Amino acid sequence: MAIVDSRADAAEAELGRFIVLLGPSGAGKDTLISHARRELSGSADVLFVRRVITRPADAGSEDHIAMSDAEFDAAIDDGRFSLTWSANGLRYGLPRDVESHLAAGRVAVANGSRGAWNVIRQVFPSAVAVEIRVDPEILARRLEARGRENAAEIAARLKRASDLTAGFEAGIIIDNSGAVETAGAALTDYIRHACADSGGR
C-alpha cells in the first residue's frame, strides 16, 4: 500500500487529460512509455512526466530524477511536487509542471501507483487509469530475469499484483504479455485520441 506524504489541491482550471499507467512491477510500464515517447516525439501537446524517486539514476529502466531522502524532503518543503507517495521502500514525486501542462489543455502521461490511485484522482480530477496486464507466469519470469528479488519476494509481488487489480477502474486495459510493439501501439493510439479529445494535435 502506498502512503501519500503530501499533495496539492485539485487544480480548478484543469482542462487536459492525465494518463496514468498502473500495473504490477515487471509489467513493462516504463518500456511502453518509452515506446510512446518515441512515437510522439514531435508533439508538444504530450508531456511524459519524469518522476522523482529516491533511487539511483542508473537503477532500473525508468528515466527518472534521482534524489536522496534529504533532497526529497527539501523538495517537499520548497513545494516542488504536486503529489508524493511511498511504495516498496522508495519515495516518489510528481513535479509541479504537470499542473501547468494540464491547465493548458494538454495531455500528460506518467507511471503511477495502484496504491496511490485514489489520491491521484483527488489531486488530478482528469486522471484516467491505463491498466497494464501481464500473464502471471510471464510476469514471474520477468521478475526472476531482472534478478532484484528472491523467490519469496517475487511471490509477494505476484500476490500484491493480484490483490490490487480490483482497486481501481481502468479507462483501458492493455495486455503486455506479448510483443512490446503491439502493446506500445495500443498505448500510443490511446494517447493520440486523448490529444484529439483535449484539442491537441
Mean of the pLDDT values across residues 72-90? 92
Mean of the pLDDT values across residues 29-57? 92
| Gap between the Cα atoms of 126 and 48, Å rounded | 16
Per the model's pLDDT, the better-predicted residue between 63 and 21 turns out to be 21
Q: What is the mean pLDDT of the chain?
A: 84
pLDDT of residue 12: 44
pLDDT of residue 22: 94
pLDDT of residue 120: 92
Tell whether 91 is covered by a domain: yes
Closest CA to 52 of 29, 35, 69, 34: 69
pLDDT of residue 24: 85
Domain extent at residue 47: 3-195
Q: At 192, phi and psi to the nearest 5? A: -60, -45
33-42, 58-67, 86-95, 166-175: which has the highest mean pLDDT?
A: 33-42
pLDDT of residue 163: 62
pLDDT band of 139, cuts 50, 70, 90: confident
Cell of 199: 484539442
Q: Measure the CA angle with vertex 165, ends 155 and 148; round to 5°.
A: 35
Q: Which amino acid is at 143?
A: L
Mean of the pLDDT values across residues 45-57? 90
| pTM for this predicted structure | 0.83
Tell whether 40 is covered by a domain: yes
Per the model's pLDDT, the better-predicted residue between 145 and 65 turns out to be 65
Evaluate if residue 88 carries a pLDDT over 70: yes
User: Which strands sit side by side in the sheet containing 3-7, from one edge to the other?
Assistant: 3-7, 81-87, 90-95, 52-53, 65-66
CATH number at 79 reads: 3.40.50.300
Cell of 125: 480530477
Tell whether 163 is covered by a domain: yes
Q: Measure the CA angle with vertex 64, ends 30 and 32; round to 5°.
A: 15
65 sits in the region (left: phi over 0; alpha: psi -120 to 50; else beta) called: beta
Q: Indicate the number of domains in the chain.
A: 1
Q: Measure the CA angle with vertex 8, ends 97 and 188; round to 5°.
A: 45
| Gap between the Cα atoms of 190 and 125, Å rounded | 18
Cβ-count burial of 160 within 10 angstroms (0-12 exposed, 13-18 middle, 19+ buried)? middle
Tell whether 144 is covered by a domain: yes
Tell whether 66 is covered by a domain: yes
In eight-state DSSP terms, residue 40 is: T
Tell whether 200 is covered by a domain: no
Tell whether 201 is covered by a domain: no
Tell whether 123 is covered by a domain: yes
